[in-house]
Structure 1
Amino acid sequence: MKRQLTHDDIRAAVYGGAVLGGGGGGFVERGLRTAELALQVGTPELWTADEFRAEDLTATVALVGAPAAPDPQVLPTHLLRALELLRRDLPGELVAIHTNENGAETTINGWFHAAMTGLPVIDLACNGRAHPSSVMGAMGLHLAEDYRSSQGYAGGKPYAYVEGAVSGRLEATSNVVRRASVEAGGWVGVARNPVDVGYAVKNGAPGAIGFAIELGQRFLADGPVGAAQHLGGEIVATGRVREYRCEQREGLDVGVAVLDDADGTTLHFVNEYMALDLAGDRRASFPDLITTFDEAGQPLASADVAVGEQVSVLVAPAANLLLSTTMYMPDVYAPVESLLGVAFAPETRVLADA
């Protein structure tokens, strides 16, 4: 199915994405602004994957960086520049684009590109929830020995602006882009990893954008409880933040938030919430969805949590999400566990059963 994205889609996509961001995936206000701009300058279209041939070429558009970074800037022009840098060196014609993940800003990744270039956005994400590392959103390409990653990136305020194109092994090129985000003040827009649509469907999360829009509609109607019910989850804790630590490490936000409730609810995050402990026991671990809401019931990014603020915590099981094949690969968890100093990766067997 092909359809034009509308103003009715914007709030639902952004707020549904904010819930699925699990503490990461960008910020609501910026997501709303970018989506509105896309509809002002053009008519972006969302196509289901079955509208393409399996061999058609698509590429991922993404934001890379640390949400709590002090001085970031990624403008719509930077997004287009990153795509231009990628397309310049491609061996074939790019037919479509898709987002890396669901989040308040990342669910609408590609809308502005589509409005300006005429390329359709595929109703597909590399992962149906937000994740902290580029490898987690690479649909298993890091295991393909003959795959050569190409990435274009751009971002930063005028005195810190960086742009470039890099190609090579996926993990090496991803590290270059992550470092560029640090030099740019915290964020860069990225276009990367061209693949056949057939590969993206098999290894990514087809239907992820529609999933976020439906979830957003439920959240806007019924708040956090409605979102939890829609995802087959629950609100497991509410309390005020008595402790919060966050530092930027390797271009990511790494930290912990502790509530003052009877269970001493503890949330560990690397951009997204990776683990949730209640009364000293592990209640949920990534890729389970752990999302915080403020006292007004609005999705709250991990970077925006503050001491003294009342928050509620939603948990939904991974089995109820649209997840990519990378969530079933233990090796992608090790670098994030090392940054956090907390073990949380699910066992391979459990993931395979999900």
Structure 2
Amino acid sequence: MEDVKAAVAGGSVYASGGGGWVDHGLEIGGAAVTMGQPKLASVDELPDDAIIITCTAIGAPAGKTDWQMLGVDYIKAVKLLMENYEGKVVGVMTPQNGMSSSINGWLPAAMLDLVVVDATGDIRAHPTGKMGQMGLAADPNFETIQVVVGGKKETGSYIELVVKGTPAKTSNVLRTASDMSGGFIASARLPVPASFIKENAAIGGISMAIDLGKAIIEAEPNGAEAVIQTICDKTNGEILGRGKVISSTVEYSGAFDIGQVVVDNPNNPLTLHVMNEFMAVDDSKGNRLTTYPDVITAISTETGKPLSAGALEPGLEIAVFRIHKSHVPLSSSVRDATVYPEVEAALGIQISDYALGE
């Protein structure tokens, strides 16, 4: 359970304002270590032909919709994939760190005798499924299988869906299913061999979240400022500014939370661009201060805890934190130019020039 708490605490920093909810992470992670013994494995411990699948939750993190996702939904999604896939699945991984997504696969791993692979499709959270698929979204000839399970049965929104096709097309189908189910749904997808993970994932992503989380938990008795300093020291991160949230235009639309948050940083207000996660920050002079794939996090200066994008309401005092991309492992997802146009169109800003640059 200490690992669950640490993964959620550290994952909340890499969540970049998204990646689910702390309560959901503690609930699902707690169930995993209570009902079984999930094992974290280095990808180097696995043979090259061992099949790894990605377990995740798809949807928007603001929690402004009538969603329901249970632990059994994660397990059912993995089972459905295994039933519809010819190969033998050995392990699970997450496409991203987050408030709950760092422990996405722990429960099905514990219940179905699979290992949790210490790798992520992206070290930080991101808005679209394509952004965690390690470069495969750009391949029109790669066929995969993707599964989603979740929703409220009492309202008729419960969905089980198995879809096969290219990652780009099937990801759009899954996003629509998430919206129809209430905005947040469990998924299992993208079976690939360990050899592919070794070459294309952000290796060690889960260990990084756990190590950061342990440092955060140790610093918490000393107050919010001690926690913020610990996060900076542990990650080579920095505070871009501090201030009170002035306004937020973040609204739910099609399983995405999209909008802007303005922070009254002294003499130079900051604008945080949100598409589920914080994707960029501009100052009042129009200068870009940070852009995906940098880790971008809003931290409460009162509690030291990272906040989700949907929780940033006027009056909250926050510190805007970032880790430069040079200080985190980057997966092939980041170098996939095809994943950026829809995000740039939704936000009306440039992202790819920085993400794809040196």
1:27/1:105 contact within 8 Å kept? yes
Moved more, 340-349 or 226-235: 340-349
Secondary structure, counterpart of 2:314 in structure 1? coil
Rounded Cα–Cα distance in structure 2 between residues aligned with 1:85 and 1:277: 43
Rounded Cα–Cα distance in structure 1 between residues aligned with 2:355 and 2:313: 35
In structure 1, stretches of 5+ residues that fail to align are: 1-6
Aligned residue among 135, 143, 146 for 2:130: 135
How far residue 331 of structure 1 moved from its aligned partner, in angstroms, is: 2.4
TM-score (norm 2): 0.93
1:330/1:345 contact within 8 Å kept? yes
> Do the aligned partners of residues 329 and 146 (structure 1) sit closer, same or farther apart at CA in structure 2, a change above 3 Å counting?
closer
2:139/2:166 contact within 8 Å kept? no
> Do the aligned partners of residues 188 and 253 (structure 1) sit closer, same or farther apart at CA in structure 2, a change above 3 Å counting?
same
Aligned residue among 191, 194, 197 for 1:194: 191
Structure 2 residue 339 is matched with structure 1 residue 336: no
The corresponding residue for 2:96 is 101
Rounded Cα–Cα distance in structure 2 between residues aligned with 1:107 and 1:154: 19
Q: Residue type of the partner of 2:56?
A: A
How far residue 78 of structure 1 moved from its aligned partner, in angstroms, is: 0.7
Equivalenced residue count is 345
Rounded Cα–Cα distance in structure 1 between residues aligned with 2:140 and 2:275: 28
Identity across the alignment (%)? 35
Rounded Cα–Cα distance in structure 2 between residues aligned with 1:138 and 1:271: 17
Aligned residue among 207, 223, 229 for 1:210: 207
In structure 2, stretches of 5+ residues that fail to align are: 220-226
The corresponding residue for 2:295 is 289
The corresponding residue for 1:4 is none
How far residue 309 of structure 1 moved from its aligned partner, in angstroms, is: 1.1
How far residue 349 of structure 1 moved from its aligned partner, in angstroms, is: 6.0
Rounded Cα–Cα distance in structure 1 between residues aligned with 2:350 and 2:139: 27
How far residue 47 of structure 1 moved from its aligned partner, in angstroms, is: 0.8
Rounded Cα–Cα distance in structure 1 between residues aligned with 2:83 and 2:249: 42
Structure 2 residue 24 is matched with structure 1 residue 30: yes
Rounded Cα–Cα distance in structure 2 between residues aligned with 1:299 and 1:129: 13
Structure 2 residue 2 is matched with structure 1 residue 12: no
Query: Equivalences for 1:74-93 in 2 at 5 Å?
Result: 74-93=69-88
Aligned residue among 113, 135, 144 for 1:149: 144
The corresponding residue for 1:270 is 275
1:285/1:346 contact within 8 Å kept? no
Q: Deviations over 1:161-183 (max 9, x none)?
A: 11110001111111111000001
Rounded Cα–Cα distance in structure 1 between residues aligned with 2:138 and 2:258: 26
The corresponding residue for 1:326 is 333
Structure 2 residue 291 is matched with structure 1 residue 258: no
Rounded Cα–Cα distance in structure 1 between residues aligned with 2:202 and 2:274: 23
How far residue 231 of structure 1 moved from its aligned partner, in angstroms, is: 1.4
Q: Deviations over 1:196-230 (max 9, x none)?
A: 01101111111111011111122223312211121
Q: Deviations over 1:83-117 (max 9, x none)?
A: 11111111111111111111111111111111111
Structure 2 residue 57 is matched with structure 1 residue 52: no
Q: Residue type of the partner of 1:177?
A: L
TM-score (norm 1): 0.94
The corresponding residue for 1:112 is 107
Rounded Cα–Cα distance in structure 2 between residues aligned with 1:100 and 1:122: 11
2:334/2:355 contact within 8 Å kept? no
Structure 2 residue 318 is matched with structure 1 residue 314: no
2:25/2:103 contact within 8 Å kept? yes
2:135/2:335 contact within 8 Å kept? no
Displaced runs of 4 or more, over 4 A: none
How far residue 55 of structure 1 moved from its aligned partner, in angstroms, is: 0.9
Aligned residue among 163, 166, 172 for 1:169: 166
Secondary structure, counterpart of 2:260 in structure 1? strand
The corresponding residue for 1:39 is 33
Secondary structure, counterpart of 1:328 in structure 2? coil
Rounded Cα–Cα distance in structure 2 between residues aligned with 1:275 and 1:18: 18
Q: Residue type of the partner of 2:333?
A: T
How far residue 329 of structure 1 moved from its aligned partner, in angstroms, is: 2.4
Rounded Cα–Cα distance in structure 2 between residues aligned with 1:300 and 1:146: 39
2:242/2:317 contact within 8 Å kept? yes
Secondary structure, counterpart of 1:335 in structure 2? helix
2:137/2:339 contact within 8 Å kept? no
2:138/2:336 contact within 8 Å kept? no
How far residue 348 of structure 1 moved from its aligned partner, in angstroms, is: 6.5
Rounded Cα–Cα distance in structure 2 between residues aligned with 1:252 and 1:317: 25
The corresponding residue for 2:179 is 182
> Do the aligned partners of residues 347 and 260 (structure 1) sit closer, same or farther apart at CA in structure 2, a change above 3 Å counting?
closer
Aligned residue among 285, 305, 311 for 2:312: 305
How far residue 51 of structure 1 moved from its aligned partner, in angstroms, is: 1.3
> Do the aligned partners of residues 47 and 161 (structure 1) sit closer, same or farther apart at CA in structure 2, a change above 3 Å counting?
same
The corresponding residue for 1:227 is 231
